[in-house]
Structure 1
Amino acid sequence: MAKSEKKKLSKDDRLNALSAVRRSKSAAPKPKATKPAQTQAIAPKFADLPGFKEIRLQKAAADLLQINNPFFRAHEARAGATTQIDGETYLNFSSYDYLGLNGHEKVQQAAKTAVDHYGISASASRVVAGERVIHTELEELIAKMHGVESSVAFVSGHATNVTSIGQLMQPDDLIIHDSYIHNSIVTGAKLSGAVRQSFPHNNLDALENILELRAHKHPRVLIVVEGVYSMDGDYPDLPRLIEIKKKYGAWLMVDEAHSIGILGKTGRGIAEHFQIDPKDVDIWMGTFSKTLAGCGGYIAGCSDLVDYLKLTASGFVFSVGIAPPIAAAVCEAIRLMEAEPERVQAAQSNGQYFLEKAQAANLDTGVSQGCAVVPIMVGDSLKATVLAARLLDRGLNVLPIIYPAVPEKSARLRFFITSEHTEDQLDQAIQLVNEEMATYNSNPISIQQVMSA
C-alpha cells in the first residue's frame, strides 16, 4: 500500500476515537486561572453631575457681564430693613426677619442668659442626654401658639419636613401636594417611598379629582400645602381644604414657615386668619428662622403624632437637640409676638402697601396677596440676575430667584417685606425697580449675545 494512502476508519472507529479525546480532555488538569492585570479605576467626575454645565454657563455669563455672584454675599452685621455689605449700607429686601425680632434686646438677652446657664450646645441627642428644660418650655409655647396638644422641635427646618414625612408615610401610601410646595416636602415624600402626585397651584378642584380617583387605593393619604407660599406670597383656601380632607379621610399638613407672624390678627398663622379650629389640621409645621428669630423647625399637633415622631423620626432621634440659646431666643420671640401685635399689623400693612404700589407701577407681582413675600416677575434668569446686580449698584439688595429654583420663564426678584420697612423705603424700592426695568427693556441682553461676545 502506498505511503500516501490513508486507512479509512469506520463510523464506529471515528465515534470511539472522539469519545477517547473527550475523556482525555476532561481528565486533564485545568490550567490555573490568571488574575487580570491590575488597573487603576477611574473615578467619575463631579463635573459630570446633572446641572453642573448649567452652573458653569451661568457663571461664564456673569463673568462676561462683570456681574458678581448675587448668592453667598456676606453681610457684615444684622440684616434688617437695611444691611451692611462691603462697608456700604443698602436697602434690604432679602431677609425674612418679618417682625424685626432678630435684633430685639429681649431676644438677644434670652440667648445670652441661656449661654451662661446651658452653654452653647445640647451636646447630645435629646433621646439620650441632650434634653434640657428650655426644650420643654419651647415646645409648650409652640403648642399653645398653634392651639394644639403638643409639639416637637428639630434642629433644621428643612430636615423637619424631610424626616417627619419620611417617617409618617409608607410605600403603600399617597402624598398629594401643591405644585408650588417647598423642596423639603418633595424630598420627604421621596424618602418615604410613598406614591406622590402634585396638583396645580391652589387648584382645589384638581386636588379633589385626584382624591376621588386614588384615595381609596391607599391606606393613608397626606395632603400638604403651605400657609404662605415662599416664592409667591399667596395662601390656600384652608376651610375648603379641611372639608376635602374630611370627605376623603386624609391627613392635612400645613407648612407655616412663612405664615407665622404674617397671617392672623396676632400672627398665629393661617388658622387664625380663617378663624378655624386648629385641631382640624392634622399636622402643623413651622420654622424658627423667619419670624421667630432662630434656627430649626417644629411639628405641632396631637400628642400621639408628637410622641411617635420623638421616638421614631431619624432627624430627631439621631440628631443633637436644638441649641439651648436658640431655644431660649425663640421662646422670647413667641412671647414678644403675642405681647406686641402691632408688629404683626405693621408687617401686614407694609406687605399690602408694597403690593399695591408695585401693581400701580405696572410691575408684575404674580399671584402674590401681599403676605410678606412679593415677587416682581421678570421672565428669565439672565434678566433677573442683571437687574439684581444693577439694583445693588444703586443701593438696593434684592435677590434674583432663577432656574432651577423656579421654572426659567418664572424667574423673579423676590422681595421680603417686614414690619421694619418704612413707606419711604418701599416707595424708593419700587421706583428703582421701575427705572432699571425700563433701562433693561430698552436694551435687553440674550444669552446668545453674551456667549458670542
Structure 2
Amino acid sequence: MSKLEPAPVGRLQLIDRILGKKAEDSGSAAAAPVRRASGARRIPDAWTRFDRHPAYESMLVSKAASQRLGLDNPFFRVHDGRAGAMTRIDGRDYLNFASYNYLGLAGHPQVDQAAKDAIDRYGTTVSASRLVAGERPVQRDLEQALAQVYGTEDCVVFVSGHATNVSAIGHLFGPKDLVVHDSLIHNSVLMGIQLSGATRRAFPHNDVDALDRLLGDLRGRFERVLIVVEGIYSMDGDMPDLPALIDLKRRHHAFLMVDEAHALGVLGEKGYGLHEHSGIDGRAVDIWMGTLSKTLSGCGGYIAGERALVEQLKYAAPGFVYSVGIAPPLAAASLAALTLMRAEPERVARLKQRGQFFLRQARAAGLNTGLSQGYSVIPVILGSSLKAVRLSNQLFDHGVNVQPIIHPAVEEKAARLRFFLSSEHTEAQIVETIGLIQQLA
C-alpha cells in the first residue's frame, strides 16, 4: 500500500477503537469525506489529519499490540534527580543503565557551580545568534579547550548534537559530491546527507576493504568525497580502525569525519577519544564531531578541525548562523566537565575497568553482547522486540532501569537491551544485574 493511500477499513476501525472514537467521526474509508482541491484532484480526508498520518497509525497499532500482551510502555518514564548510576522514579531508587553520564560528571558540584556562576553573570540565554549579536567568553573558552583535546586549530559549538551533523554535512557538501558512511551510522548523519543533496553510499560495518573497493569504483565521478564513521558505535559499542581509514582517505583523496559522541571521555588514557586510543595525531582527521550531552554534562554539539573549516561553518552553516548561541550555563557546565576530565584521568580508567568487567561477566553468563568491546556501550542482544521490552519491564520491576532497543531502530533479529556504563557503577551492581538477566531471560 502506498503511503499516499488511505489505510484499509479494518485497520482504521482498530485505530478508532484505540482512540475511543465513533465510526461516524473517524474519517474511516467508509465514512471519510473526499474533498476536491482547486486542481480537481480528489483529496481523502485522511490526508488532512494528523491522527491519520501513517506513522501515527503504525505507532497506535504497536501500542495496542503491547497492551494486549500486557507490556508496560518502558519509554518516557519520569526521573526525579540527576542522571547517574542510580536514579529515582516514582519515589523508588533504581540502578540506572540508561544514562550517558559516562564519567559521573553530571551533577558534580564543580560542574553545577560553574553553571550557576554563568547564570549570575550572563543569564540563562544569550538571546540571539553569535554571528549578529556577539559572543560570551565562556563560549569561546569551551571551543578552544575542545580544540586542544583534538590538537586542531579551532572548534565551533552548536546548540544541538543532532543538528551539528545535519547542518555541517548539509552545508559542506552538495549534489556533485559523494558521502560514504558505515552502515550503522547515526540518523543525524543520514539527515545531513539528505539535506546536502550529495550521493549517499553505505559500506558494511567496519569493513575497510569494502570501503576501499567502493571508493575505487566511485571516487572519480564526484568532486568532494566524505567518509563518515563513529568513534564508538552507539548501538554496538565497537569502534573503527582509524589508522586504516586515514590511509584510505589519503589514497582516495577524500575527507574523513569521525562522530565522537560516545567516544570523548571514554577512549584513551585521558579520555581524548579515538585519536588518543589509536595513537594518531588529531590533525590526521579532517572533521571531528562530538556532543556536549554525554561526558561533558551539557547540551549541544561541536565540530573541531582546521580553521578554514570552522570559520566556514561559523559564517555560513544555517544551523549555526540562524540559531541562538549556546546558553552560557550549558557552555560553562561543559567546560567545567572537560576540565575535570583532564584533571582526573582516574575517572576514565575506572569507566574502562567497569566496562570490561561488565563484558566479561555478561559473556561468562552466556549473554550475546554482539560486537561490543567493553567501553561505554554494551548491548545484550535478544533477537526479538517482544523479548527486549518484556525483559526491560521485568528488570525494572526488580529495580534496574535499562532501555530496550527495538525494531525499526534495529533489525528485529538484533533487538536488544542497551547498557550504558558509568565510572560510578560498582562491580557489585554489575554482578547483581547480570544475575537478574540470567534469572529472568
Which residue of 2 is the match for residue 256 of structure 1? Answer: 260
Which residue of 2 is the match for residue 408 of structure 1? Answer: 412
Using the alignment, how far apart are the partners of 1:296 and 1:339 within structure 2? 23
Task: Give the 3 Å change call, closer, same or farther, for CA 40–179 of structure 1 in structure 2.
Answer: closer
**Percent pairwise identity:** 56
Which residue of 2 is the match for residue 376 of structure 1? Answer: 380
Q: Within 5 Å, which residues of 2 pair with 1:227-246?
A: 227-246=231-250
Q: Which runs of 5+ in 1 are unaligned?
A: 1-34, 438-453
C-alpha displacement of 1:40: 10
Which residue of 1 is the match for residue 429 of structure 2? Answer: 425
Using the alignment, how far apart are the partners of 1:257 and 1:41 within structure 2? 43
Q: Deviations over 1:190-236 (max 9, x none)?
A: 00000000001001111001000001110100000000000000000
Which residue of 2 is the match for residue 207 of structure 1? Answer: 211
Which residue of 1 is the match for residue 78 of structure 2? Answer: 74
Which residue of 2 is the match for residue 392 of structure 1? Answer: 396
Q: Within 5 Å, which residues of 2 pair with 1:430-445?
A: 430-437=434-441
How much is the aligned-residue C-alpha RMSD, in angstroms? 1.6
TM-score (norm 1): 0.87
Contact 1:130 1:320 in 2 (8 A): no
C-alpha displacement of 1:145: 1.0
Q: Within 5 Å, which residues of 2 pair with 1:168-247?
A: 168-247=172-251
Aligned length: 402
Q: Deviations over 1:220-259 (max 9, x none)?
A: 0000000000000000000000000000000000000000
Using the alignment, how far apart are the partners of 1:261 and 1:376 within structure 2? 23
Residue in structure 2 matching 1:356, options 360, 369, 374: 360
C-alpha displacement of 1:72: 0.8
Q: Within 5 Å, which residues of 2 pair with 1:227-306?
A: 227-306=231-310
Which residue of 2 is the match for residue 328 of structure 1? Answer: 332
Which residue of 2 is the match for residue 86 of structure 1? Answer: 90
* One-letter amino acid of the structure 1 residue matched with residue 253 of structure 2: G
Using the alignment, how far apart are the partners of 1:151 and 1:49 within structure 2? 41
Residue in structure 2 matching 1:60, options 57, 64, 67: 64
Q: Deviations over 1:169-189 (max 9, x none)?
A: 010100000000000000000
Where 1:127 maps in the other structure, the secondary structure is helix
Residue 328 (structure 2) pairs with residue 342 (structure 1) = no
Residue 149 (structure 2) pairs with residue 163 (structure 1) = no
Instruction: Answer with 1 or 2: which has the greater Rg.
Output: 1
Using the alignment, how far apart are the partners of 1:423 and 1:396 within structure 2? 15
Contact 1:123 1:130 in 2 (8 A): no
Task: Give the 3 Å change call, closer, same or farther, for CA 51–115 of structure 1 in structure 2.
Answer: same
C-alpha displacement of 1:67: 2.6
Using the alignment, how far apart are the partners of 2:93 and 2:308 within structure 1? 49
Task: Give the 3 Å change call, closer, same or farther, for CA 358–305 of structure 1 in structure 2.
Answer: same
Runs of 4 or more above 6 Å deviation:
none
